Amino acid sequence: MEFNIIENGGVCTPLGFAAASCVADIKGKGKGNTDLAVLVSDAICQTAAVFTTNIVTAAPVQYDKALLAKGREFMGIVVNSGNANACTGKQGFIDCEAISAAVENELELPKGSILAASTGVIGNRLPADKIIAHIPALCEEIDDDGGSAFAKAIMTTDTVSKELALLVETDKGSFVIGGTCKGAGMMSPSMATMLAFVTTDADISADRLQKMLNVASEASFNSINVDGDMSTNDTLLAFANGMSDVAIDDSNSALFQEALNYLCKELALMIVRDAEGASKMVTIMVKGAKSDADAKLCAMKLSNSPLVKTMFAGSDPNWGRLMCTAGYSGAQFDPEKVSIWFNDLHYVKDSTLIDPALEDKAYAIMKEPEFTITLDLGAGDGVGTYYTCDLTKEYVAINADYRS
Amino acid sequence: MEFNIIENGGVCTPLGFAAASCVADIKGKGKGNTDLAVLVSDAICQTAAVFTTNIVTAAPVQYDKALLAKGREFMGIVVNSGNANACTGKQGFIDCEAISAAVENELELPKGSILAASTGVIGNRLPADKIIAHIPALCEEIDDDGGSAFAKAIMTTDTVSKELALLVETDKGSFVIGGTCKGAGMMSPSMATMLAFVTTDADISADRLQKMLNVASEASFNSINVDGDMSTNDTLLAFANGMSDVAIDDSNSALFQEALNYLCKELALMIVRDAEGASKMVTIMVKGAKSDADAKLCAMKLSNSPLVKTMFAGSDPNWGRLMCTAGYSGAQFDPEKVSIWFNDLHYVKDSTLIDPALEDKAYAIMKEPEFTITLDLGAGDGVGTYYTCDLTKEYVAINADYRS
């Protein structure tokens, strides 16, 4: 690796980025967590984005998409937690526009230069007036030490904030990529109530950044699964302000991609580790599939099965549930040719248990907070990986009681 | 309706069917529940079947399919609970054949006239010798009062046995349709660890019975969803022995279909009501879809979302989760045109909440043990219904601790 983790790094670690947060009491419960935040750059950013594929999209997703369709240069973003501003009709879009405009006015930025993101409960109007009233004081606080405050303010059911920054050394000098994300439930095959923001002081075109962000998100945020649900608000945004003066071109784009992949994957794994009610992070590798698509489909279905996920919770090497789920996944294979490993323990061969005496070893592996399950379908060279968690009673408690 | 429910009716209520059960200790834990049962007819039965679509199938499914490919006339079935005889390789098929043969020998029936079904843990060899040793005593007990004993012996995590019989009056006389089923978890779009057996003394051809069974299963066992998993063992079998001398032909087949639909739907709803850890049965109706297929897809995804199902558990009218799930279901619709009802309470119109004051009423409806949620997608005339349950902490406890 030609990059290194920067201690306590985050979205404000690259040159020229600053942030702030405040308590806007968006839920109206008088509670004290920060729930409104801004992130801004000193210089214009080339911007790339990946959004939810849900056809029901939140107002801020619609707002950002509309702006990104017109251009790729932005100055930053305003984010709230506690209310998703989804299923709020035309009013939701108007609220979104007004909040972004309030930030732009306060910071004397061009109209349409601040994007928006929201996360929280769907279906309630955003308290826009209350939010706008907080903008002047919030903008006063903007500071290049504000990355952690930003990361905390975007949390909902997350129990820890999620931040990372990498220092990347190149022949032309060094640049930094930073990131933060939130999300702990509703994770699914295609992201899900997940917000992720990447910043960099590298000098990169919006087109190049977009292509690399697509690649990085596929193997990270699009390969994690908490509960199979896909949100109306999923947003991954990357801002590049060029202030390191290190230009990314064909000579060093592979390195940028590698660092971006690493950053996105580590941020995504932080989400799985912090998944609602989860006690374990499980990597599901499928190999020997007819195609990579088949392998990914099978890994996704395994990562999504309540019976498989409760088996993780119970540390029970009940491999029949893996066979059964693979069998209905849609992947094509000979049901008599499957091998299964728990970490390096070869447990099943030709679809039968190798030795009942291995059960205690498999149980011990599954008691660990992180382990890998590998299925070889014996049908070809296709490979695919998903990252998931166990399904616990606490998940149900969190989601049954979320609003009330 | 030209049919009536027969009190305490089941698979032995039609003329000429008899059954018995015993404790074979198939799990080897020395526990006392009955776990082996036979059901036989005095006369040859025309037989129809629907099996799991999982490509990993249990040995008894493979065994029955092989026999049904050769002919449609059978005398009955031998069923065990406690072990699925799935992922047991060639030995599983051999065990299956030996157990059926033991019943055939004991009852002096033709070779290949007794079908087989199993339910329980996947991946362990069936204790065939132990089972075969119980067959003679079991066959001694066969009695036309044995329907309830049969229904109890096929249970796994079910908390109640599930039986129903209907008396159907026709111009030519009356006949009876009886049934039983088991299943409480792993229910899915296409059945799932579900065994269901239908008996009738109507005189009907195997072809006609098969067509009607396909129709009845689609709107019943294939329209329930407990956890989205699909088992290796799902089996629905219908036996018609003709002993009522009422022939089913074009003149009365609509009535037979109607009774069979009712029987299958009521049995399927018994499964949902008894779903693992569930406290509520919820009917999800989708209308106004572009097509019936779109409506069924949307209803299925709604019935399968952990966020929707935990919302049922919490009696929380968090309609945003319904919108969100409909949005990623794959059904095509205008996200601004959705209406939602809780029972008869119109709650959402044009994708926005009609009045926040309705929340208490919706909450009261969701506190009931059974209610209906209706979504109108505003995109056409397609309709589709699924029956599902809430996702509770008890579901997780049952499935995390099932084997250990």
Q: How close does chain A come to B326, measured CA to CA in Å? A: 8
Nearest to A327 among B232, B307, B403 (CB): B232
Sort out which chain A residues have CB atoms less than 8 A from B352's CB and list them: 87-89, 123
Q: What pLDDT sits at residue A42? A: 98
Residue A137: pLDDT over 70? yes
Question: Length of chain B, please?
Answer: 404
Strand order in the sheet with A345-349: A224-225, A382-389, A281-289, A370-376, A339-342, A345-349, A352-353
**In a shared domain, residues B263 and B306:** no
Pairing of strands B370-376, B281-289: parallel
Mean pLDDT of all residues in chain B? 91
Residue B156 and residue B292 in one domain: no
pTM of the model: 0.83
Last residue of a domain, one of A273, A299, A333: A273
Question: Which pLDDT belongs to residue B228?
Answer: 54
Distance between CA atoms of residues A22 and A3, nearest Å: 33
Q: What would the two tokens of residue B247 be?
A: 């022939």
Tell me the sheet residues that pair with A174.
A169
Domain co-membership, B237 together with B162 = yes
Asked if the Cβ–Cβ distance from B123 to A314 is below 8 Å, we say no
What per-residue confidence (pLDDT) applies to A190? 36
Mean of pLDDT values over B262-291: 91
Average pLDDT, chain A: 91
Decide which of A273, A292, A315 is a domain's last residue: A273
Mean pLDDT of the region A280-305: 94
What's the whole-number mean pLDDT along residues A126-155?
Answer: 97
Selecting from B54, B232, B396 the residue whose C-beta is nearest the C-beta of A313 gives: B396
Residues A242 and A98 in one domain: yes
Would the pLDDT of A37 be above 80?
yes
Contacts with B402 from chain A: Cβ below 8 Å: 314, 316, 318
Per-residue pLDDT at A1 exceeds 50: yes
Mean per-residue pLDDT, B163-178: 96
Domain boundary, last residue among B256, B273, B290: B273
Of A56, A325, A403, the CB nearest to B318: A403
Chain A nearest-CA distance from B403, in A, is 7
**Which chain B residues have a beta carbon less than 8 Å from that of A321?**
122, 229
- Amino acid symbol at B189: P
Residue A370 maps to which CATH number? 3.10.20.340
Q: Are residues A253 and A380 in the same domain?
A: no
Q: Residue with structure tokens 């549930």?
A: A321
Number of separate domains in chain A: 2
pLDDT band at B229 (very low <50, low <70, confident <90, very high): low
Q: Could you tell me the residue range of the domain that residue B312 belongs to?
A: 281-400
Let me know whether A15 and A106 are in one domain. Answer: yes
Same structural domain, A87 and A144: yes
Report which DSSP code applies to A385: E
Q: Which two tokens stand for residue A235?
A: 């947003």
Cite the active site residues of B.
193
Check which CATH number belongs to the domain holding A118 and give it. 3.60.70.12
Catalytic residue annotation of A: 193
Per-residue model confidence as pLDDT tens digits over B207-226 = 999 999 999 998 898 888 76
Answer for the pair A396, B310: CB distance below 8 angstroms, yes or no: yes
A292 with A245, same domain: the answer is: no
Residues B294 and B264 in one domain: no
| Residue A130 to chain B, least CA–CA distance (Å) | 19
Same domain, B245 and B171: yes
Question: What pLDDT was estimated at residue B190?
Answer: 36
Is the dihedral angle over the CA atoms B380, B385, B390, B396 positive or is it negative? Answer: negative
Clarify whether residues B173 and B201 are in a common domain. Answer: yes
pLDDT for position A404: 36
